[in-house]
Amino acid sequence: MAAIPGHCTFRSHKFPLSSAFSSSSFSGGALRSSRISFVSPLSVRRNHISCQTSSATSPPSSSVSGTAKGEKKDFLHISDFDKATIMKILDRAAEVKALLKSGDRSFVPFKGKTMAMIFAKPSMRTRVSFETGFFLLGGHAIYLGPDDIQIGKREETRDVARVLCRYNDIIMARVFAHQDILDLAKFATVPVVNGLTDYNHPCQIMADALTIIEHIGQLEGTKVVYVGDGNNIVHSWLLLAAVVPFHFVCACPRGFEPDKETVEKARQAGISKIEITNDPKEAVKGADVVYSDVWASMGQKEEAAYRRQVFQGFQVDEALMKTAGPKAYFMHCLPAERGVEVTDGVIEAPNSVVFPQAENRMHAQNAIMLHVLGL
């Protein structure tokens, strides 16, 4: 995108989202309709999805996504969107994934567009999934590592936002403080996508939801049990549960529960069944998904030894998966510390979907970027 002196601009164009398609085919860069269905041992559900431009959503609830910016859309929290919008994004992710898997590279909606990727926290999956996905759809992504910006230290976040939006069409940021992503969204005039903060990780949970739909057939009505630290992954699951109805359980040691306000927000939505417990064995009974994450995240490594003691009994091992039942899938957002929060045997078991889950980061994020760019 050419730089425009004196100000930053962004225009969002609204187009209807087609609800069904018959076969994946492209002509002149536009995706024609097709139909995908997911078959589950529990249920069968057909998803009618299209790679045509998605319709605009209602304004996000976050104050920083301000209506003063007109049509600009950010992706900061899953709960900023309604159920219909979340499901449309997931449906579109499935369609674009099917297209890329077919080897077709004619769909290039990001052609001529650039994305700035801010990494205060390094990550293999986040960088490769965003950069590769943006490239496969015709765009160019620019990596800005921890030493390139030093956001909030060498330069104020608001200044970074207002400079980058003059060069780029979209900004993705993976940062520590949640306030940094809020400030980027507040001052940038192009869409901002939350690649992770200490508070939440919405792109990961969108990929997780896509994975569940692929393997179970639907997200609604499933029982997802998270075992471990009540961290940013849990917060994102809770925010999704405030929008889409399912049963979410977080089993964690005492003192490591998720943020109380976020738990209360999910419960007050009155959509999903929410449980916070300290008993993992009881929690996983009847689970469709057992989910784990590292016990000590980036920035908490000095607590690793202490946490290993406190989290005894919260390892996802073969015995716990047996308690969950034969239909339970295992998920992990990776990287995993094998032998710590999960055994090697569980990760390598046939019902482990951690690698399809990792792949779906790219496909879910592609759909998120298409949505916020109005393409």
3 or 322: which leads in pLDDT: 322
pLDDT per residue as tens digits for the range 197-214: 999 999 999 999 999 999
Question: Which are the catalytic amino acids?
Answer: 333
317: which 2 tokens? 């091992």
Which of the given ranges, 9-18, 206-215, 302-311, has the highest pLDDT on average? Answer: 206-215
Q: What is the pLDDT of residue 298?
A: 67
Looking from the CA of 178 toward its CB, the CA atoms found within 13 Å total 12
N- to C-terminal Cα distance for the chain?
Answer: 15
Identify each DSSP E strand in the chain by its residue range: 21-27, 30-34, 36-39, 44-47, 114-119, 140-144, 170-174, 192-196, 223-227, 247-251, 273-277, 289-292, 329-332
50 or 177: which leads in pLDDT: 177
Partner residues linked to 290 by β-bridges = 225, 330
315: which 2 tokens? 């390892």
Q: State the DSSP string of 12-26.
A: ---------EEEEEE
364: which 2 tokens? 């879910």
| Interatomic CA distance for residues 196 and 209, integer angstroms | 17
Four-CA torsion 245, 246, 252, 254, nearest 10 degrees = 50
Q: What is the pLDDT of residue 55?
A: 32
Q: What is the pLDDT of residue 19?
A: 34
What order of strands is seen across the sheet that includes strand 114-119? 140-144, 114-119, 170-174, 192-196
Q: What is the pLDDT of residue 48?
A: 36
Partner residues linked to 127 by β-bridges = none
Mean pLDDT of the chain: 85
Report the chain's C-alpha Rg in angstroms: 20
Handedness of CA 101, 107, 111, 114 (dihedral sign): negative
Looking at the predicted structure, is the pLDDT value of residue 297 above 90? no
Angle at 365 between CA 99 and CA 136, to 5 degrees: 45
pLDDT per residue as tens digits for the range 83-138: 999 999 999 999 999 999 999 999 999 999 999 999 999 999 999 999 999 999 99
What average pLDDT score do residues 267-274 get?
98
pLDDT class of 20 with cuts at 50, 70, 90: very low
Q: What is the pLDDT of residue 302?
A: 78
Looking at the predicted structure, is the pLDDT value of residue 41 above 70? no
Q: What is the pLDDT of residue 150?
A: 87
Looking at the predicted structure, is the pLDDT value of residue 47 above 60? no
pLDDT class of 216 with cuts at 50, 70, 90: very high
